Amino acid sequence: MKKEGRILIVDDDEDILIAGKLLLKREFSSVSTCNLPEHIPDFLSGQKFDAILLDMNFGPGESSGAQGFYWLKKILEIKPDSVIIMITAHGGVDVAVEAMKLGATDFIAKPWQNEKVVATISTAVLLGKSRSETQELRAENQILVQANNQSKTQKMIGMSMQMQQVQSIIARCAPTDANVLILGENGTGKELVARAIHQQSLRANRIFMSVDLGAIAETLFESELFGHKKGAFTGAQQDRIGLLKAADGGTLFLDEIGNLPLHLQAKLLTILEQRKVTPLGANEPVSFDVRVVSATNINKQDLKNDDKFRQDLLFRLNTVEIKLPTLRERITDIEPLSSYYIDFYSKKYNKPLKSLNDDALLAVKSYAWPGNIRELRHAIERAIILSQTSQLNSRDFQLEQITTPLAVSNEITSISPKQDVFIEDELNLEVIEKQVIGKALKKHRYNISHTAKELGLTRAALYRRMEKHGL
């Protein structure tokens, strides 16, 4: 059975071309011949070859190998990943070895032994295919990196003094490789800031790897971040590269770093200090090069508590610290943010573009937004879908059903106790579930991790229910 492989033989001796083709066409799917080296560029432009057999000398009396060196360099200029096997006479072995130093893969001496030729070509074809696959994977990875960066790219909206300060810090720290710690409530845009740092860094054309540490089970932490070898544990049916190594050369964003248990914090610290990781089941460590950006919704005071967070890890992570303001602290940004999401969701749902009337603008500026920008985004999405008027009004947002208005002076008023009282006669499970989730969210000031823990849900499950109930 023939092997998959495309071979090109370049020689001015017709007997060599005929003998080579007769021998190799029994073994490989395609064998082409060329008796004039000047035609090599035409062959390379029209086809892709897994291996090329190239004579060292062309024309009678030639023995220096200069022509072979010339065309070897020419082929590698046109196709740098080409696998080239030199054809030489017994007396030209030294010349062939010199050719290998210039980029040739192997050589065959004339007169050749058929078995050795087939074996040499078979190995070369495998190498050629490996190089082609590697090149294709690199190209695909680059496309994926670009697509990933472009798909998640969203400009930071806001001209408030607080956001100008944030953008100033980003601009100064992004071009460096300094580790960055982003602090802020849920929904303030911590991942958006992390992506902005990556996009303005020297690693912008490499991968941005986002890891939600709050969503990784403790038992899977090492396998996910460090990787594992086949058979390392029950269920490890194949080798798996860890996220740290997958982000090699790029930026690793560790979200919800504050939720990581202390014993896993120690392991993470060791890995970040050594810049080497040993996959589960492996004996040798593997080096990696990443820029670490981390984020947490835990306040700075709690992070300084040794019982909650290792201080040596904190020092490692917060070379530069960025504190994101809440939406209620940047009221002047609410209107441009609203306009952006109105335009976005109008296009997404093919709805006519609407604006906020004065009543709606006052309502969104007065509301506390405990869920910050994420809550604003969901509120606008719901309003765009349900609105039946030419302009969005305050009733489209239903904010009065969630909390009392926030004074425009930026002072937070207390939440009406009536909203936490359950309707005793209510038996609809959907309504009860919404009430319970809403109450739990308010109790924990919209801290998703704490709310999910009290409700006995995963963070992902809680997010799905919040989406379901418009919370």
| CATH assignment of the domain containing 394 | 1.10.8.60
Residue among 120, 87, 76 at smallest CA distance from 12: 87
Domain membership flag for residue 148 = no
Q: Are residues 345 and 449 part of one domain?
A: no
Which domain range does residue 160 map to?
A: 156-325
Question: Which of residues 378, 398, 415 is at a domain's end?
Answer: 415
Q: Which of 393, 415, 437 is a domain's end point?
A: 415
The residue with tokens 């400009």 is 155
Neighbour tally for 370: CB within 10 Å: 21
CATH code of residue 458: 1.10.10.60
Other beta carbons within 10 angstroms of residue 314's beta carbon come to 20
My answer on whether 315 and 337 are in the same domain is: no
Sign of CA dihedral 178, 184, 186, 192: negative
How is residue 317 written in tokens?
Answer: 């992570």
| pTM of the complete model | 0.60
CATH assignment of the domain containing 75: 3.40.50.2300
User: Quick one: 237 exposed, middle or buried, by C-beta within 10 A (0-12, 13-18, 19+)?
Assistant: exposed
Type of residue numbered 177: D
Strand partners of residue 286: 277
Considering the domain architecture, whether residues 300 and 189 belong to the same structural domain is answered as yes
Q: Are residues 162 and 257 in the same domain?
A: yes
Predicted confidence at residue 408, as pLDDT, reads: 38
- In this structure, the answer to whether residues 195 and 101 fall within a common structural domain is no
Whole-number pLDDT of residue 146: 57
- On whether both 23 and 160 belong to a single domain, the answer is no
Which of 291, 325, 359 delimits the end of a domain? 325
Residue 361 within a domain: yes
Encode pLDDT of 382-428 as tens digits: 999 999 998 999 888 877 544 433 433 333 333 333 344 444 455 67
CB 226 within 8 A of CB 277: yes
Q: Give the tokens for residue 351.
A: 């709805």
pLDDT for 201: 95
70 occurs within a structural domain = yes
Q: Running DSSP on this structure, what letter comes out for residue 218? A: G
- Phi and psi at 30, nearest 5°, equal -145, 130
How far, in Å, CA of 201 to CA of 205, rounded?
9
Return d(Cα 242, Cα 231) in angstroms, integer: 15
Residue 345 falls inside a structural domain: yes
Residue 250 within a domain: yes
Give the contacts of 452 (CB within 8 A, at least 6 positions apart). 458, 459, 461, 462
Residues in the chain, pLDDT under 70: 1-2, 61, 63, 90-93, 133-154, 400-427
Kindly state whether residues 391 and 250 are assigned to the same domain.
Answer: no
Domains held by the chain: number:
4
Q: Do 298 and 182 form a contact (C-beta atoms < 8 A)?
A: no
67 located within any domain: yes
CATH number at residue 313: 3.40.50.300
Residue 246: both structure tokens together: 């997958």
Residue 156 phi, psi dihedral angles, 5° rounding: -80, 120
CB 466 within 8 A of CB 458: no
Do 14 and 100 reside in the same domain of the chain?
yes
Report DSSP state, residue 425.
T
User: Do 408 and 421 sit in the same domain of this protein?
Assistant: no
6, β-bridge pairs: 30
Please check whether residue 458 lies inside any domain of the structure: yes
Residues 320, 219 within the same domain: yes
Query: Does residue 111 have a cis peptide bond before it, meaning omega lies within 30 degrees of 0?
Result: yes
Where are the alpha helices (H) located in 295-357, listed in sequence order?
A: 300-303, 311-317, 334-348
Q: Sort 384 into a burial class: Cβ within 10 Å, 0-12 / 13-18 / 19+.
A: buried
pLDDT of residue 155: 76
- Answer yes or no: are the C-beta atoms of 235 and 173 closer than 8 Å: no
- For tokens 């092997």, name the residue: 3
Same domain, 175 and 321: yes
Looking at residue 356, its pLDDT comes to: 93
Contact 83, 72 (CB under 8 A): no
Q: Is residue 461 part of a domain?
A: yes
Shared domain check, 397 and 276: no
